[in-house]
A = this chain, B = another copy of it.
Amino acid sequence: MSVIQVSTPYLVFLGAVSNPLDAKTGRGLVDWRPEQCIGQLRYPGCRVDLGLPDMSPAEAVAAGAKSLVIGIAPTGGQLDRAWLDTLAEALNEGLDLVAGMHTRLASVFELATRAQALGRRLVDVRVPPPGIPVASGRRRSGRRVLMVGTDCCVGKKYSALALHRALEAAGRPATFRATGQTGILIAGSGIPMDAVVSDFLSGAAEALSPDNDAGHWDVIEGQGSLFHPAYAAVTLGLIHGSQPDALVLCHEHGRTQIDEYPGYPIPPLAECIDTYLRAARLTNPDVRFVGVSLNTAALTPAARADALAAVTAETGLPCVDPMAGGLAAIVERLP
């Protein structure tokens, strides 16, 4: 097994969190996979409510939960030792533990020994699974659409999730393939690409989207950007292993340079498209762009419409903001 597999559904652990921003992992789970969220576990004083029933580990197990997932990311990403009694109780009751924190669950002695004794799993979604092969370059059956960005943090994960939802709503067979930790929690499986050893990066992307039915679409979360001086290699390995049939360019309206890297401008969108196509043709000569996903959160509705129209005029592609409109124009271009 060279893909992380998480047992779902979840009991979402919120502890005593007070800032909703620190609970964005839990919020993302409820937003994108409400059917996988059985309940929430909150300590007295917790000021966040995901709208789930409050449950103890035993109650969650009785309701069908398979894992307790740490739904909060406190500053620094450390595991709070005040949680240990609850986490041990969850293991005792039959739950796996799942987290994407800097502190690895398996590095906490009390949890590691107890999980070992009970036969439970401690799943760190930041840690790549063992057994990832070197890429073979072999073409696979089924179809794949990959999100690619002009920069990091422009909406690639959100776009992939929204496109997957739109495909499902249209009755089309599709699977969201997660390449980062939050996506893995949402999907219940995936590979954290940026943590994979370089030699195995394209192999990891191949393993993530295996052979499938002819009409099936894998909707693959993107990573990084080919225009990013630190992370372009991650992007290229993901492209080559994914062998995408279709690409969606993700961009934030108004962003003109790589965030936190002054001197690294974002090229014109047409040039971005050309660069991505050249890279992707190595493993799929028939790759093409099917749309642009534009993050227009900062715009008024009128300005948004203008921005979307301008990108369509510039690129000749359908342009949508998945936060503010349907993805039908892109879905239509996925045969």
Contact = CB atoms under 8 A, between A and B. Distances in A.
Interface stretch (A65-73, A142-150, A229-237): A229-237
Contacts of A201: 198, 233-234
Q: How many interface residues does chain A have, given as a range? A: 20 to 34
B195 A199 contact: yes
A108 to B, nearest CB: 21
Contacts of A198: 193-198, 201, 233-234, 237
Nearest to A262: B137
A137 B264 contact: yes
Interface stretch (A86-94, A166-174, A275-283, A310-318): A275-283
A45 B283 CA distance: 50
A185 to B, nearest CB: 19
A153 interface: no
A272 interface: no
A131 interface: no
A114 B135 CA distance: 39
A117 to B, nearest CB: 25
B240 A137 contact: no
Contacts of A231: 199, 202
A196 to B, nearest CB: 5
